[in-house]
Amino acid sequence: MSQNADAGKLPGWTLLVSLLGWVIAPMVLWAYHDFGLSWWLSVPTAIVIAVAGVFLERAVERKYLPSRISEIHAKHDGIASVQALDGRIFATLSDDEMATLNFYRDQGRKFGVSVCIDNDADPAELARAVSREQTDQILKRANNRVHVLVAG
């Protein structure tokens, strides 16, 4: 499978993997019934097979679909884009810079990046914020600065 043309597409045979657990589980139930075995054995066995099929499907997807994190990291020009934000005033960041900052706030540890924002805002007001958006608005009003630390 070529990386460029087929990026984000799964090979055709993976559809069979997704159906595997859901086809085999009822077959096992039917077979146990035909052989006169107890439902106490057949139902847990069918459940295990169905769950194993889900895990198998997830493993195939993880192997063949590109990593979303690596796409975002590459899109943001690696660590250089977040390093450019070091020392900037938080309220002056553009939408693209905020997207980069938020990505590295959430995923930065995987890339050896630590992002922090000075906190000169009222602690009581920050404590009342219930979402990241509200917290960001409070930090922007206080003209806080962004600090980026890169390990290594």
**Which pLDDT tens digit goes with each residue over 63-110?**
776 666 666 667 766 788 888 999 999 999 998 889 888 888 888 888
Rg (CA), the chain: 25
| Tokens found for residue 100 | 């980069």
Looking at the chain, which runs of residues are DSSP E strands?
113-117, 146-150
pLDDT tens string 35-47: 888 889 889 999 9
Q: Does position 4 have pLDDT exceeding 90, yes or no?
A: no
Q: Give me the residue spans of the domains in the chain.
A: 14-66, 69-150
Euclidean distance between CA atoms 68 and 113, whole angstroms: 18
pLDDT at position 86 is 93
